[in-house]
Structure 1
Amino acid sequence: MFFKAVEENIELRDRQKDSHTEPLLPPTPTYRTFDYVLVAHKVDDDMDQKAQRQRAFIQQLEKKNITITRIIHDDKVFFGLRAPTEMFLDYQYLLKVSDSCNWCGDVRGSVNQATRIRIVNFILHQTFINTGENLEELLMKDVFETMFCLHEKKMQKKLKKEWARWSGLFTGQPVNDVKCYFGEKVALYYLWLGWYTKLLVPAAALGVVVFLYGLAFFNTNPLIKEVCQSSIMMCPRCDKWCPVWQLSDTCTYAKVSHLFDNEGTVAFAMFMAIWATLFLELWKRNRARHVSQWKVYDWCEEEEELILEIVNDPNCNPKQFRHSYLRSTLVLTLVTLMLMLIIGLAQALVVFRVVAAPLMSEGSCKFIKDHANTVAIMLGAVLHYLTIQIMTRVNRWVSLKLCDIEKTNSFAATERNFTVKMFTFQFFTLFSSLFYVAFFLGRINGRPGDYVRIAGWRLEECHPSGCLTDLFIQMAVIMLLKQTLNNIFEFIVPWFRNCLRRKTAKKLQRKCGQCYRKACHNNQGRVEPCDICKLRDWLYNYHLANTDAFSLFNEFLEMVVQFSFTTIFVAAFPLAPLLALINNIFEIRLDAIKMVHLERRLVPRKTNDIGVWTKVLEAIGVLAVIANGLVIGVSSDFVPRLVYRYRYGPCANGSTHTHCMQGYINDTLSTAVVSHMAVRDDFLPDQMITGGGFNVTQCSYRDYRSDEDYTLTSQFWLVLAVRFAFVILFEHVVVVCKFIAAWFVPNNPIHVKNDRLIDKLARLKEELREIKRSKSTDV
């Protein structure tokens, strides 16, 4: 349909040109700026293969009427590229007659520099020399060193003043200016990030309220008092070196546990699940307003690529869609193997923690010896962070290779597939260890006399106050390290490169001033930059940090991973939205300063949505409901406390003189008698001697078991049944609330729908007027 429409309308366009009707685009000046710059190493030998490939590629560009300016500087050769105006006239016309982009913003008026760069970038990557190599392959073989588009000084200065500065932390973003300079894709990223940050404010405020709620009852909570004032002797945490220990030794741990495991956590988890849905629905409305204003609401990436293909080569053939079950099976198999490897690394971290705790208990440092489990958890979190940094690079390489196997028909499809694979790998890398801590830690370790072991080492146990604090520590360390260190490195590396290029820039500044004083005038009488002045601008951009097609992907991935931390395990860490809010306030300006000051200009790309990231965010929202329901129902002590209050506690028997939770900690503990044969084999005699020299004949451990035969008690099965019932009820209630919220908030505001109707009516009327004018011209 599209190619047929082009053929049918080409004659109409030619008649309009012959009849001297109003052109689609006003003529542009002969000289403005360069669209692109290629850089290569200087080769003195003309017969060198690299030199021959360079000439062949440049000749192919010249055949497409691209003007090329060649400047040699030291051992580098710079090629300045500028495309002809006719190329953009063709682009505008094809955009005008396409099925879905006929009222896009680029149809009317002159083509801005961002659009020129985007078209030229596509043409450069679709230009092949006689050996069949394109620019990407030539860059890999070092025929060309690099390529980049130039910053526009006037617009760059405006963005620095209004946006890319630390003093503007709490000011709005000039999204329309960002769109004009960096394209719709970058603008939508900052629009999404700003919207996400704004909606984090109520989530962060409520998270602080939940934290303060736990803090308010810090000193009066009977569970904390019961732990801190207890004389119960607990069973050794590990083999050989760990002695029995007193429950009161973990008073501080019990206090921290209560801060993040209280009644307010349940309400906060429900709120965050609904918040995630409202955030996405309100974002869709906000996006619709802006893309409608930018005239890209009906934009279609497939037709955009077809148009660019025709502009590059009028005789091109469309790339056919292909699907291979063999390739899909191979990719699926490799993805499964990669996920198994990542999960295996998570298990290695578990083994590290299992081994580290008893080894540190043997050490000479009293502090580490007394807090061996906590130190092991924190070291495991730090090691997990280092694993994340290494696996991020591995995941990227594997994802790119898998996309090469699939052989998609367009860059947009490749980008979508890469995003899904990379996020899946990163998600498992980040959350495999957290899922173990949340749902398996302390639940598969066995009991005295029948411990579960890995390579002879006992698995970890939960604290008598619950396992949620372990999850909190793991999340806090990873979030703080990941956000803080990543932001530092993101800023320091480009900033350092920026400092190095200033020396070269200052030398050329003086030469450029002399050049301008000589008044290098062109034929129209205007001052046109001479080679030194052009080179100064080119070197300025050359020494900036490199960017590529996945530079923006990295920013999106970082924020979506943060969104996952903020929603999936928020029941264990109510302060996560606050940390995310503080990080994002700085993240917006940090990314803006990088893009405007410190990095080469990103290739402006057109779009009308954040793409597959919307689906990823929706999946995270569903997973957040499941995970938080399981965290509260399985990981936290909310359900056991509820059962104790209404079934086994003092209030269940009608007592009003004591607190309803009095005796809860003791109720969750079972007793192991050392004289029993199986238990005696697990604990050495030296382990049963206290620090005061007393020999202990029995110890307590966290479980609901009989003291005689160690069978599970009826209370265990009741608590388990209530846990499952709570999880099912929680998830169904929250899912229903999510669906109601999604239905209640329409994706498109009414004024956007009305504006689109008006635009379509105006377009149809304009098309009718053009047809009448062409008929009158023929007559």
Structure 2
Amino acid sequence: MFFRTAEESLELSDRQKEGYSTEPLLPSLPTQKTYDYVLVAHQVDDERDQKAQRQRAFIQKLEEKNITVKRIEHDDKMFFGIRAPNEMFKDYQYLLKVSDSCNWCGDVRGSVTQATRIRIVHFILLQTFINTGENLEELIKKGVFETMFCLHERKKQKQLKKKWARWSGLFTGQPVNDVKNYFGEKVALYYLWLGFYTKLLVPAAALGVVVFLYGLAFFNSNPLIMEVCQSSIIMCPRCDKRCVVWQLSDTCAYAKVSHLFDNEGTVAFAMCMAIWATLFLELWKRHRARHVSQWKVYDWCEEEEELILEIVNDPNCKPKQFRHSYLRSTLVLFLVTVMLMLIIGLAHALVVFRVVAAPLMSEGSWEFIRDHANTVAVMLGAVLHYLTMQIMTRVNRWVSLKLCDIEKTNSFAATERNFTVKMFTFQFFTLFSSLFYVAFFLGRINGHPGNYVRIAGWRLEECHPSGCLTDLFIQMAVIMLLKQTLNNIFEFIVPWLKSCLRRKTAKKLQRKCGHCYRKACRDEQGRIEPCDVCKLRHWLSNYHLAHTDAFSLFNEFLEMVVQFSFTTIFVAAFPLAPLLALINNIFEIRLDAIKMVRLERRLVPRKTNDIGVWTKVLEIIGVLAVIANGLVIGVSSDFIPRLVYRYRYGPCANGSTSTHCMQGYINDTLSTAYVRHQAVRTDFIPDQMITGGFNVTQCSYRDYRSDEDYNLTSQFWLVLAVRFAFVILFEHVVVVCKFIAAWFVPNNPIQVKNDRLHDKLDRLKEELRESKRSKTTDV
């Protein structure tokens, strides 16, 4: 019987394609030697060069730890293959067995997997210091080494391509256990979370479509829309210079779009989505518990894992002491505050852009832009907001890293948590500052005729007579579509181009190593030991893949959590957000899988039993969703003014049944400004108040104000009181529902609790048997 390793099978396939002999290989009982890591450096001819000396010093430090280093030259580069001794992994297994946190983990029993080897070697490489006190990360920054990467396993990589990383499997399940065995628990939990999140988006998206169709069903028969479209009301100019009055009926299409997203169904949908966010988190905790229990990492502890790796790297190591400095914390808090003020300042700059752009475009020569200046300004503001987000993402990352350096945490896990919190906070303010302005301030602080609020001489924006919610909808739609579509395109195109370069290089080496596989790839005992060209071919194929680092998976999590924020926080203004998120995620899962398996270097496998601090972030977003949606419905939408009009000022309030209860609502929300009024003369020039060939003596604007002195009417204060009452009632009811949902759905399924109980019992019995055997042996 003949045995082939993964390398043999793939090489045999390549040789068959090129027409080489495919006669049976010699039996190879021992497995071939694998390399855990590869370092790449530029060759330095002068041995006295400082980079060459540091390079040799680092390699010497590795060899002192009994790590095998294989050197292969190629062009102007030197490749170092790193293979750790098996004794290191035996020590790791023993320490894991006697630890408190993971003495029943999967790595304790059986052979050490390649993923575990890579994780341990990665830690050792980063914790190896030369005499100057520099580690590998610092040496790479200073150009001593070019890069470092772990190798893909060809057989498992090929299996993942067939099962998972292919577009034809778009609607099939994910082999999460295979992903865990290859990329580690951290990556597997990301895809487990993303798949579960995508599945639960289905009912949310269906409900959002129902709300949208509800608004569409009354598209042509709604009295509010008919009142706008058939109105002869003259509206006041939207700006000061060269702006003319306009008819309310000109915005008929705008009023129809507003009703699609601002109707009675929006309130129920917002409440359902707030409860959905809680149910999603609670059900996710149960889903996670099942898998981490199956993977035997339920009780795993990250801090203890890091201590074990420290001992494996250096048996004489000393623990890193916990430290806390009030001075450093104060400095970090101050810098975070400054950064947030800068981000909010950028949001104000976007507001100024829209304030200036609208009147300037209304003076333009293009008729379409001139007639729709405000809408075009909002859309341009959304595009500019997206560009600002792309720039600030890089700035936010740099600042977050510097703040983590100031804090000087005692472990990588703590640094990662702190970085995640800071980065998400900065990104959240970057993304949502402009949206919060549109949702809660737009049109509410702009003043009235004769006393408009101005920025640098320009009037602030005003809400449309049909409501402000459409402006928020436009902002969200543009940002979500641009962010998700363009990000996915760039995420795929860049690694794909690098993959094309890799194929060309690999084909050259294939021709060099056409016949050596049968002869030079075996040692004297007949064991598989690929020749240097075979090794180099595999190393180069990984070297030319797109670079990955500790931020690769973080970026994917951040992208999805930001999407979760858009889907829940302002869902009242955009009921189709869950549908867009669902469509994006169906492609996102396969896109990320293809990137990781085919186009990028292998991620360093990381062990974990949770998605970490992201769980807390999602819980905070769930609370913000309740507050924001309550405010959007109570403050931004016209739900409350319509409710007050129906039961207090409308025809039905007087007992009339011959007309619709909302008849006359639009006219009720408008106030009148007279041209001859002294307060108006300062704002309106007579020739500006001419339209349609006839003189205009009055115009209307959206507000509850007296026609005589512009004071706020009693109706304004009644609507304001009902708004606040609704917000308080909405938030309390939804929060109670969230608590009930969290209590009703336990975090751990009963089966998981019973399985853990049996595992602990089996472990204790095994420890007792081993103790008895050792006593018998001593006797």
**TM-score, length-scaled by structure 2:** 0.96
Aligned to 1:751: 751
User: Which SS does the other structure have where 1:773 is aligned?
Assistant: helix
Aligned to 1:763: 763
Whether 1:730 and 2:759 are equivalent positions in the alignment is no
Between the aligned partners of 1:221 and 1:559, the Cα distance in structure 2 is: 37
User: Which SS does the other structure have where 2:695 is aligned?
Assistant: coil
Aligned to 1:698: 698
Aligned to 2:40: 39
Contact 2:165–2:590 at 8 Å: present in 1 too?
Answer: yes
Contact 2:30–2:527 at 8 Å: present in 1 too?
Answer: no
User: Which SS does the other structure have where 1:39 is aligned?
Assistant: strand
Between the aligned partners of 1:590 and 1:520, the Cα distance in structure 2 is: 36
Between the aligned partners of 1:524 and 1:209, the Cα distance in structure 2 is: 71
Contact 1:125–1:136 at 8 Å: present in 2 too?
Answer: yes
Whether 1:216 and 2:213 are equivalent positions in the alignment is no
Aligned to 1:169: 170
Between the aligned partners of 1:632 and 1:365, the Cα distance in structure 2 is: 36
Contact 1:228–1:248 at 8 Å: present in 2 too?
Answer: yes
Using the TM superposition, give the Cα deviation of residue 519 of structure 1 relative to its aligned residue in structure 2, in angstroms.
4.3
Between the aligned partners of 2:357 and 2:321, the Cα distance in structure 1 is: 56
Output aligned runs, 1:111-190, within 5 Å.
111-190=112-191
Question: What is the identity, as a one-letter code, of the residue corresponding to 1:292?
Answer: S
Using the TM superposition, give the Cα deviation of residue 32 of structure 1 relative to its aligned residue in structure 2, in angstroms.
2.8
Using the TM superposition, give the Cα deviation of residue 77 of structure 1 relative to its aligned residue in structure 2, in angstroms.
0.1
Aligned to 2:308: 307
Question: What is the identity, as a one-letter code, of the residue corresponding to 1:452?
Answer: V
Using the TM superposition, give the Cα deviation of residue 267 of structure 1 relative to its aligned residue in structure 2, in angstroms.
0.3
Using the TM superposition, give the Cα deviation of residue 43 of structure 1 relative to its aligned residue in structure 2, in angstroms.
0.5
Aligned to 1:10: none
Between the aligned partners of 1:143 and 1:758, the Cα distance in structure 2 is: 52
Contact 1:519–1:527 at 8 Å: present in 2 too?
Answer: no
Output aligned runs, 1:634-645, within 5 Å.
634-645=635-646
Between the aligned partners of 1:433 and 1:679, the Cα distance in structure 2 is: 31
Question: What is the identity, as a one-letter code, of the residue corresponding to 2:218?
Answer: F
Using the TM superposition, give the Cα deviation of residue 511 of structure 1 relative to its aligned residue in structure 2, in angstroms.
1.6
Between the aligned partners of 1:686 and 1:292, the Cα distance in structure 2 is: 77
Using the TM superposition, give the Cα deviation of residue 693 of structure 1 relative to its aligned residue in structure 2, in angstroms.
2.4
User: Which SS does the other structure have where 2:174 is aligned?
Assistant: coil
Between the aligned partners of 1:519 and 1:240, the Cα distance in structure 2 is: 84
Between the aligned partners of 1:443 and 1:773, the Cα distance in structure 2 is: 80
Aligned to 1:18: none
Between the aligned partners of 2:636 and 2:273, the Cα distance in structure 1 is: 18
Using the TM superposition, give the Cα deviation of residue 30 of structure 1 relative to its aligned residue in structure 2, in angstroms.
7.1
Between the aligned partners of 1:196 and 1:139, the Cα distance in structure 2 is: 38
Between the aligned partners of 1:32 and 1:629, the Cα distance in structure 2 is: 62
Between the aligned partners of 2:76 and 2:130, the Cα distance in structure 1 is: 24
Between the aligned partners of 1:759 and 1:719, the Cα distance in structure 2 is: 61
Using the TM superposition, give the Cα deviation of residue 224 of structure 1 relative to its aligned residue in structure 2, in angstroms.
0.3
Using the TM superposition, give the Cα deviation of residue 524 of structure 1 relative to its aligned residue in structure 2, in angstroms.
2.9
Using the TM superposition, give the Cα deviation of residue 513 of structure 1 relative to its aligned residue in structure 2, in angstroms.
2.2
Contact 1:92–1:107 at 8 Å: present in 2 too?
Answer: yes
Contact 2:363–2:370 at 8 Å: present in 1 too?
Answer: yes
Between the aligned partners of 2:272 and 2:475, the Cα distance in structure 1 is: 23
Aligned to 1:13: none
1:452-511 C-alpha deviation (Å, 9 max, x unpaired): 000110000000000000000000000000000000000000000101111110011122
Aligned to 1:49: 50
Between the aligned partners of 1:710 and 1:716, the Cα distance in structure 2 is: 12
Question: What is the identity, as a one-letter code, of the residue corresponding to 1:524?
Answer: Q
Contact 2:270–2:571 at 8 Å: present in 1 too?
Answer: yes
Using the TM superposition, give the Cα deviation of residue 675 of structure 1 relative to its aligned residue in structure 2, in angstroms.
1.3
Aligned to 1:272: 273
Question: What is the identity, as a one-letter code, of the residue corresponding to 2:394?
Answer: R
Output aligned runs, 1:15-414, within 5 Å.
31-414=32-415
Using the TM superposition, give the Cα deviation of residue 773 of structure 1 relative to its aligned residue in structure 2, in angstroms.
1.3
Contact 1:197–1:584 at 8 Å: present in 2 too?
Answer: yes
Using the TM superposition, give the Cα deviation of residue 183 of structure 1 relative to its aligned residue in structure 2, in angstroms.
0.1
Output aligned runs, 1:490-505, within 5 Å.
490-505=491-506
Between the aligned partners of 2:383 and 2:174, the Cα distance in structure 1 is: 35
1:323-372 C-alpha deviation (Å, 9 max, x unpaired): 00000000000000000000000000000000000000000111000000
My pick for the range that moved more, 493-502 or 30-39, is 30-39
Question: What is the identity, as a one-letter code, of the residue corresponding to 1:153?
Answer: R
Using the TM superposition, give the Cα deviation of residue 411 of structure 1 relative to its aligned residue in structure 2, in angstroms.
0.5
Contact 1:353–1:376 at 8 Å: present in 2 too?
Answer: yes
Between the aligned partners of 2:441 and 2:338, the Cα distance in structure 1 is: 23
Output aligned runs, 1:626-637, within 5 Å.
626-637=627-638
Between the aligned partners of 1:519 and 1:547, the Cα distance in structure 2 is: 33
User: Which SS does the other structure have where 1:514 is aligned?
Assistant: coil
Between the aligned partners of 2:107 and 2:513, the Cα distance in structure 1 is: 35
Between the aligned partners of 2:702 and 2:575, the Cα distance in structure 1 is: 26
Between the aligned partners of 2:518 and 2:176, the Cα distance in structure 1 is: 39
1:687-722 C-alpha deviation (Å, 9 max, x unpaired): 2111x2222111000000111111111100000000
Using the TM superposition, give the Cα deviation of residue 246 of structure 1 relative to its aligned residue in structure 2, in angstroms.
0.3
Contact 1:240–1:683 at 8 Å: present in 2 too?
Answer: no
Contact 2:498–2:544 at 8 Å: present in 1 too?
Answer: yes
User: Which SS does the other structure have where 1:671 is aligned?
Assistant: strand
Between the aligned partners of 2:682 and 2:567, the Cα distance in structure 1 is: 45
Whether 1:571 and 2:572 are equivalent positions in the alignment is yes
Between the aligned partners of 2:97 and 2:688, the Cα distance in structure 1 is: 83
Question: What is the identity, as a one-letter code, of the residue corresponding to 2:675?
Answer: V
Identity, % of aligned positions? 90
Contact 1:240–1:684 at 8 Å: present in 2 too?
Answer: no
User: Which SS does the other structure have where 1:515 is aligned?
Assistant: coil
Between the aligned partners of 1:758 and 1:161, the Cα distance in structure 2 is: 36
Contact 2:33–2:529 at 8 Å: present in 1 too?
Answer: no
Aligned to 2:773: 773
Using the TM superposition, give the Cα deviation of residue 29 of structure 1 relative to its aligned residue in structure 2, in angstroms.
5.5
Output aligned runs, 1:549-568, within 5 Å.
549-568=550-569
Question: What is the identity, as a one-letter code, of the residue corresponding to 2:695?
Answer: N
User: Which SS does the other structure have where 2:515 is aligned?
Assistant: helix
Whether 1:720 and 2:720 are equivalent positions in the alignment is yes
Using the TM superposition, give the Cα deviation of residue 271 of structure 1 relative to its aligned residue in structure 2, in angstroms.
0.3
Using the TM superposition, give the Cα deviation of residue 308 of structure 1 relative to its aligned residue in structure 2, in angstroms.
0.1
Contact 1:306–1:318 at 8 Å: present in 2 too?
Answer: yes
Between the aligned partners of 1:635 and 1:486, the Cα distance in structure 2 is: 30
Contact 1:257–1:466 at 8 Å: present in 2 too?
Answer: yes
Give structure 2 stretches of 5+ with no counterpart.
Answer: 1-28
User: Which SS does the other structure have where 1:80 is aligned?
Assistant: strand
Between the aligned partners of 1:621 and 1:196, the Cα distance in structure 2 is: 14
Contact 2:520–2:530 at 8 Å: present in 1 too?
Answer: no
Between the aligned partners of 2:565 and 2:516, the Cα distance in structure 1 is: 55
Using the TM superposition, give the Cα deviation of residue 684 of structure 1 relative to its aligned residue in structure 2, in angstroms.
1.8
Between the aligned partners of 1:173 and 1:707, the Cα distance in structure 2 is: 65
Between the aligned partners of 1:710 and 1:515, the Cα distance in structure 2 is: 93
Output aligned runs, 1:541-556, within 5 Å.
541-556=542-557
Give the direction of change, closer, same or farther, for the CA distance of 1:71–1:540 in structure 2 (3 Å limit): same
Whether 1:473 and 2:471 are equivalent positions in the alignment is no
Between the aligned partners of 1:527 and 1:410, the Cα distance in structure 2 is: 40
Question: What is the identity, as a one-letter code, of the residue corresponding to 2:724?
Answer: F
Question: What is the identity, as a one-letter code, of the residue corresponding to 1:202?
Answer: P
Between the aligned partners of 2:572 and 2:525, the Cα distance in structure 1 is: 69
Moved over 4 A (4+): none
Between the aligned partners of 2:688 and 2:144, the Cα distance in structure 1 is: 70
Whether 1:509 and 2:526 are equivalent positions in the alignment is no
Between the aligned partners of 2:32 and 2:205, the Cα distance in structure 1 is: 52
Between the aligned partners of 2:670 and 2:406, the Cα distance in structure 1 is: 55
**TM-score, length-scaled by structure 1:** 0.96
Contact 1:114–1:183 at 8 Å: present in 2 too?
Answer: yes
Q: Aligned-pair RMSD on alpha carbons?
A: 0.8
1:199-226 C-alpha deviation (Å, 9 max, x unpaired): 0000000000000000000000000000
Contact 2:32–2:528 at 8 Å: present in 1 too?
Answer: no
Between the aligned partners of 2:523 and 2:619, the Cα distance in structure 1 is: 57
